[in-house]
Amino acid sequence: MKNRLIELLSDDSLSLGSDVIPASAAGQLMIYLAEWKRWNAKISLTAETDEISVIDKHIYDSLQYSHAVSPTGTLADIGSGAGFPAIPVKVIFPELEMTLIESQRKRANFLKATLRYMKLGNISCIHGRVEDFPDLLGAYDFVTLRHVQELNLSLQLGAGLLNNGGKLILQTGLEATFQPDSLPDAISLSLVNEIPVSRSSGSASKLMVFERP
């Protein structure tokens, strides 16, 4: 497993830079996988039940966010679930300050326990929905979501957390399109980039990067 993680973390296409040491980062992700395995048997965090499948699907997908997220700043991850993309991104960019927002209590408990076990700094998990935390509005340089089902709904959900110039990053299918006039007037976002990314299954998706003026 560790060799597979090192292989992914050494992928030149990610351009992680010299600060990321693949063996060290892989060691941290091995700690994550041990906790995932223990909790997944109880609360079904993912459909996958073996570590290699989690590495190839979820961790690999999460590392693609390095194309759109900077190594420093503040980031909120909405609907963190089993910790993707937030935890792998935190491992490769340890200086990022992160808030994980998860509405399901059992998953939030898993995330809190895992963060303590991994001893990651400047990262926390809060249980609830975005609208439950008005103090987070305008506080973040980056907002991430993964496997978006309803694009405009996700944009409305995350836009308020961004500071001026902040970026909202969604993973979507290649067919997803954005119509600016479909958003409420109160939400101002511009699509600034679409980054095609391959998946371990061989299928393709993209990261849609929006910016708040």
Domain boundaries of the chain, sorted by first residue = 59-211
Structure tokens at 150: 């309803």
What pLDDT score was predicted for residue 19?
83
- Low pLDDT (below 50) residues in the chain: none
What pLDDT score was predicted for residue 202?
64
Cα–Cα dist 103/92, whole Å: 25
What pLDDT score was predicted for residue 200?
64
Phi-psi region for residue 210, left (φ > 0), alpha (ψ -120 to 50) or beta?
Answer: beta
Cα–Cα dist 119/121, whole Å: 6
Full-model pTM: 0.93
**What's the topology of domain 59-211?**
Rossmann fold (3.40.50)
What pLDDT score was predicted for residue 38?
95
What pLDDT score was predicted for residue 18?
76
